[in-house]
Structure 1
């Protein structure tokens, strides 16, 4: 039994057409189990289309009511990379620190990490985070923020009051 109800959306024309393996989601499955004691509740693969991405994100947040929605792929500079634009269209609030930390952590391994356009935010009671479309990038980004995901979800759900934050956690 998973601790969190997690949805994943893969944005990739080649994976959608069956031309390439979805090895990034395989990596994500491993990381979710190891770090959050959770598994993917629902996964969708869609082509790189703003409208299809938005529609799928809304389905998983509003109808499936996932706690955490992770997108994989479509965060680069290619004209096909439209995941951040789709995410912008569905989130209520930005959570920029998560995307900033993912970029910072990835820069230690590749200067190209500064070219990612990944964003994060909330829609209702769901935390949404964009990840890159390669397994190494998924691992770097996920491990950079995974310790903050439980606290973020608790806050979004109204389960954490000021009194429950330890002195060390305050800034």
Structure 2
């Protein structure tokens, strides 16, 4: 249970947000009148009032809206709430979609204080049901009816593809297959074969968006720039080798070259990451191996499943 302490908007990007007494929220945009709204997953930003007050105690002179937050709420430690959490405030229903954010260019607060709380304490949400919110309104956790679909991202690694010299066919094939199985594919990326770039994207998708599944395609061979397994292992917190081993075992029955695949399968946080080969045909053959099996594992990663033992 919490209380809305401030509602902040900025009509133009790059301009500090200012408090208003009430505002309308719609699924199509988010906070009506705020320049950062739109048809995307970060429609509304939220920050706990206690976090702002603690920052003020360090000597920071900050008003509501200074961190770019839309809603300041007393009584919630938003950082502790997982992606998928539902928040009810009057008729408005919000779903948390991202925890924290990357700080690409340090804001004035950081330059003054050497710190900013929004990147680590703020969260983002999308509007599921619209309505009005006013300062002083009560916010509470809401129960979800039905199961939340698994959310996934697909990353294609290809130097030529990222330069527009080759059409990516494997990525769209993965997306189509996942959507047929009921997954929500929330991001697709086409990256050059750069280990550091892939590592940053994997960390962001696992830690901030807390996706259930990330499938990569490409960069698993012996070529000098095939670094997908190295990037994946660098961000891993736990190993899950059985999936990659099963893919290789099944592929060896099709072609002996399968033994040259270096793809890995790992876990970071609550996210399963699986490396797939680069060709559309090999992608389909690989997904045949694991796609019907992994929902049980993804459910366990969410903390919602039971035991694996069979009688």
TM-score of the aligned structures, taking structure 1 as reference length: 0.91
Alpha-carbon distance between aligned partners in 2 of 1:28 and 1:138, rounded to the nearest angstrom: 7
Q: Pick from 226, 236, 243: which aligns with 1:81?
A: 226
Measured after TM superposition, the shift of residue 158 of structure 1 is 1.4
Q: Paired residues, what number?
A: 165
Secondary structure of 2:235 counterpart: coil
| Residue 109 (1) aligns with residue 254 (2) | yes
Q: Which sections of structure 2, spanning at least 5 residues, go unmatched? A: 1-147
Per the alignment, residue 63 of structure 1 pairs with 208
Is this contact kept in 2: 1:51–1:86, CA < 8 A? yes
Per the alignment, residue 96 of structure 1 pairs with 241
Is this contact kept in 2: 1:9–1:56, CA < 8 A? no
Alpha-carbon distance between aligned partners in 1 of 2:151 and 2:304, rounded to the nearest angstrom: 16
Measured after TM superposition, the shift of residue 166 of structure 1 is 4.7
Higher RCO by CA contacts (8 Å cutoff, separation 6 or greater) = 1
Alpha-carbon distance between aligned partners in 1 of 2:167 and 2:273, rounded to the nearest angstrom: 23
Per the alignment, residue 141 of structure 1 pairs with 286
Report which of the two has the higher share of helix. 1
Q: Which sections of structure 1, spanning at least 5 residues, go unmatched? A: none
Is this contact kept in 1: 2:154–2:175, CA < 8 A? no
Secondary structure of 1:127 counterpart: strand
Measured after TM superposition, the shift of residue 60 of structure 1 is 1.0
Per the alignment, residue 176 of structure 2 pairs with 30
Is this contact kept in 2: 1:70–1:130, CA < 8 A? yes
Secondary structure of 1:7 counterpart: strand
Q: Which structure 1 residue ranges, 4+ long, deviate > 4 Å from structure 2?
A: none
Per the alignment, residue 26 of structure 2 pairs with none
TM-score of the aligned structures, taking structure 2 as reference length: 0.51
Secondary structure of 2:263 counterpart: coil
Q: Pick from 145, 151, 154: which aligns with 1:5?
A: 151
Task: Report the RMSD for the aligned CA atoms in angstroms.
Answer: 1.6
